[in-house]
Chains A and B, each alone.
Chain A
Amino acid sequence: MIASRNLPLLATLLVFVVGYALCVAQFPTMLSPRVLGDLLTDNAVLGVLAVGMAFVVISGGIDLSVGAVMGLTTVFVAVAVTRLGLHPLVAFALALMLGAAFGALVGAVIHYLQAPAFIVTLTAMFMARGLSFLLTTQAVPIDHPLYAKLMSLSLQLPGGGGLGIVALIMLLTFLAGGILLHATRFGAEVFAIGGDRRAAALMGAPVARATVLTYALSSFMAALAGVVMSLYTRAGYPLTGVGVELDAIAAVVIGGALLSGGVGTMFGALLGVLIQGLILSYINFDGTLSSWWTKIVIGALLFAFIGLQKALLTLPSLRSQTP
């Protein structure tokens, strides 16, 4: 008997496998390693964001600022490299640290002011977006030898495709995120806070520290996504990542996490990202469908998964009520 709490994850896996099979049935070339490699590379940014978002959602919160932090990072890196002449690696390190500090501030405001995460991160989104516009309103191209060198690195896959540095960063992030969420004390605290904040506090979990760290982690991941985006596009642009926070939330929810907190897996989030990527590549392969079908299909999937979770949550209680 499968535990009912694993059902959403299994359903996600089923959607991905069946979806992929349907795609391959129609376009056999979609099974090639090259397409698989592209699926990972093209969705690397969303994947990195989803890792941070998974922590936030499982802790019972939400982070709407990740897209803006990501955009700010691309602009920051571009300005630091081209105008200040910093080495890209120094700029990356600075951006990641600033990202983590920004998130820690957001987490502290949420915890100590007891303000709704939704509004606080919304404010943070305005702040980060505004800051990136103050730095520049135009796209700033980055022309540094390190960029070309990094992008030429790739792990050859059998059959022609290759995993670029961008895809590798995403996979490593998911691996690290999975270990942090499922195998460390901090991960257990995140689950505990998401399950019941009061109970977690009464049982002695460091609620303040875990909340601050969760949002710091999410912003750190957003900054990392910005670095990945900057590698991928070789430019900084203040409008990068508008609305991507919703894609990240959708990925985590489709991956079986409960937006009320306490339930979710890192593997599910990865599947959620890949399902969204699959829809996009199907539309690309088909060529006649418009990209707005993506939004509708993702909305329908969101609805289906939220409905499934609701049914799983309410059915047992209904059963126990009827003698």
Chain B
Amino acid sequence: MSRAGRWLRAGLPQLAVLILALIANGLIAPNFFTLTVQDGRLFGGLVDVVNRGAPTALLGLGMALVIATRGIDLSVGAVMAIAGAVAAVAVNDGLAWPLALALALGAGLACGLWNGVLIAVLGIQPIVATLILMVAGRGVAQLITAGRIVTFDEPHLLWLGGGSVLGLPVAAVVALTALAVFLVATRRTALGLFIEAVGVNPRASRLAGIDTRGVLLCVYAASGLLAATAGVIAAADIRAADANNAGLWLELDAILAVVIGGGLLYGGRFSLSLALIGALALQTIKTGILRAGFPPEFNLIVMAAVVAGVLCLQSPAFAELVRRMRLRRSGAGS
């Protein structure tokens, strides 16, 4: 089977979920699929989904890599808050925007490396290690903004949140670029194989000569960097850094995106493009709930139901049940 064919087959459930959610949206709001061009950029329901879903998609890319190594990164929401705070405070202090952006991304990278050192070098469980930054990170972000909501109006930074490239929202373009970069880095080199090997069996892969520590460090650093990117975009979107609410609960959305994207929580397998589709499907479902006139709180129940369904399908116990039913059927037939 060709590469594309294999991908299509693996991603069929995810694509089906996304398409079903899109169709549901179309039924709820008939003008959902209409695209209009205004001032050189596209407007419409689809563009809205892509734009709103971009931060989750960025986090989902990092989370897919982390989960593939049998880890988890709970700190991404807090890292988003830190990056947004750094960018906002830096431009307000009169730094040039490239420098402010570099500082924000550097802060995210540093957060990711901190997680990576705790996990790879000190050997602390990922959920515990990243919990530290999740708890302390928002405090650090508030330390940077001095507890205030810092507004900024630097045009280049704002462009990241509201601008457009070739008619597409910048946020979506950044997410797609990140996907392309990470696809090349993991699938055109052996890095992806190493990541999966570490997820399947860290001990065996170390004995086989893989630099397990290096792989883990890279993965968490990437997650921090992507979270910082999402943080800057989210801050630019609301033209302010809100240390309390930026990226709040988005770590959960990112995990959900990976779970919907078919990433096994038991590690060892990942698909970046499917994680992206998972993030888009999640955003489409959320948009649909809002458009249907349900209160946004309804999101939580629907998301819980979706995850519960995916969990059942993924669980070893369910696989065992299916195997037994097949055995019984073939046994009855013979």
Binding site for B on A (CB under 8 A): 62, 109, 112-116, 118-120, 122-124, 126-127, 129-131, 133-134, 137, 238, 246, 249-250, 253, 259-260, 290, 292-296, 298-300, 302-303, 306-307, 310, 314
Could you list 22 examples of A-B contacts with CB < 8 Å? A114-B315, A115-B311, A115-B314, A115-B315, A119-B255, A119-B265, A122-B255, A123-B304, A123-B311, A133-B298, A134-B301, A137-B297, A246-B131, A259-B127, A292-B147, A295-B136, A295-B139, A295-B142, A296-B136, A296-B140, A299-B139, A302-B136
Q: Is the interface of B mostly helix, strand, loop or mixed?
A: helix
Find the A residue at minimum CB distance from B252. Answer: A122
The digit string for B220-255, where 1 denotes a CB below 8 A from any CB of A, is 000000000000000000000001000000001001
Cβ–Cβ < 8 Å partners of B7 in chain A: none
Tell me, yes or no, whether B124 is within 8 Å of chain A by CB.
Answer: yes
Q: Categorize the interface residue count of chain B.
A: 35 or more
- A310-B123 contact, Cβ under 8 Å, with A120-B311, A130-B301: yes
B30 interface residue (CB < 8 Å to A): no
Question: Which listed residue (B129, B135, B304) contacts A250, Cβ 8 A?
Answer: B135
Residues of B with C-beta under 8 A to A113: 311-312, 315, 317-318
The docked-state distance in angstroms from the alpha carbon of A294 to that of B317 is 42
Instruction: Provide the B310-332 mask, 1 if CB < 8 A to any CB of A, else 0.
Output: 01101111100000000000000
A-B interface contact total, Cβ < 8 Å = 113
Contact (Cβ within 8 A) B142 A292: yes
B133 & A299 in contact (Cβ 8 Å cutoff): yes
Taking the complex as formed, is B286 at the interface, i.e. its CB lies under 8 A from any CB of chain A?
Answer: no
Residue of B nearest to A307 (CB): B122
Contacts of A260 in B (CB 8 A): 125
The answer on a CB contact under 8 Å between B132 and A130 is no
Q: Do residues A310 and B122 form an inter-chain contact, with CB atoms below 8 A?
A: yes
Distance in Å from the Cβ of A106 to the closest Cβ of chain B? 11
Expressed in whole angstroms, the Cα–Cα distance for A258 and B231 within the complex equals 32
Partner of B131, one of A124, A131, A137, A302: A302
Task: List chain A residues, Cβ under 8 A from B128.
Answer: 253, 259, 306
Chain B residues with Cβ below 8 Å from A314 are 123
Quick one: closest B residue to A250, CB to CB? B135
Q: How far is the CA of A131 from the CA of B298 in the complex (A)?
A: 8
Cβ–Cβ contact A126 & B311, under 8 A: no
Give Cα A317–Cα B136 distance, bound, in whole angstroms. 31
Question: Which B residues lie within 8 Å of A249 (CB)?
Answer: 131
Q: Is the CB of A127 within 8 A of B311?
A: no
Within 8 Å by CB of B143, from A246, A292, A307, lies: A292
Task: Evaluate contact between A114 and B317: CB separation under 8 angstroms.
Answer: yes
Closest to A246 in B: B135
Least CB distance from A63 to B in Å reads: 13
Please name the 3 residue pairs, one residue from A and one from B, whose CB atoms are nearest each other, closest first. A299-B136, A133-B297, A295-B139
Q: Does chain A have a CB within 8 A of B269? A: no
Q: Mark B30-53, 1 if CB is under 8 A from A, else 0.
A: 000000000000000000000000
B142–A290 CB distance below 8 A: yes
Residues of B within 8 Å of A62, CB to CB, are: 127
Question: Closest CB-CB distance, A221 to chain B, in whole Å?
Answer: 20
Q: Which of B135, B301, B303, B315 interacts with A298 by CB under 8 Å?
A: B135
Contact A112 B317 (CB under 8 A): yes
Q: A184 to B29, alpha carbons, bound, how many Å?
A: 59
Minimum Cβ distance to chain B for residue A71 (Å): 12
Quick check: B132 and A299 within 8 Å, CB to CB? yes
7 more CB-based (< 8 A) A-B contacts, given A119-B255, A299-B133: A109-B311, A115-B311, A118-B127, A127-B301, A295-B139, A299-B139, A306-B128
Complex alpha-carbon distance, A71 and B63, angstroms: 29
Asked if B95 is an interface residue, CB under 8 A from chain A, the answer is: no
Minimum CB distance partner of A118 in chain B: B127
B295 within 8 A of A: yes
Q: Give the shortest distance, in Å, between A27 (CB) and chain B (any CB).
A: 22
B135 contact from A127, A129, A130, A302, Cβ within 8 A: A302
- Nearest CB on A from B280, distance (A): 20
Contacts of B123 in A (CB 8 A): 310, 314
Asked if B132 and A306 make an inter-chain contact with CB atoms under 8 angstroms apart, the answer reads yes
Residues of B within 8 A of A118 (CB): 72, 127
Determine the distance from Cα of A122 to Cα of B265 in the docked complex, in whole angstroms: 13
Rounded to whole angstroms, the CA-CA distance of A293 and B142 in the bound complex is: 9
Contact of B316 among A114, A131, A295, A296 (CB under 8 A): A114
Considering the complex, give the chain A residue whose CB is closest to the CB of B243. A292
Cβ of B134 < 8 Å from any Cβ of A?
yes
Contacts of A116 in B (CB 8 A): 265-266
Q: Identify which of residues 130-169 in chain B touch chain A, using a CB-to-CB cut-off of 8 Å.
A: 131-140, 142-143, 147
Residue from the set B123, B304, B312, B316 with the largest chain A CB neighbour count within 10 Å: B304
B138: which of A115, A123, A253, A292 is its contact (CB, 8 Å)?
A: A292
A292 to B243, CA, bound (A): 10
Which B residues from 75 to 108 make CB contacts under 8 A with A? none
Q: Mark B244-285, 1 if CB is under 8 A from A, else 0.
A: 000000001001000100000110000000000000000000
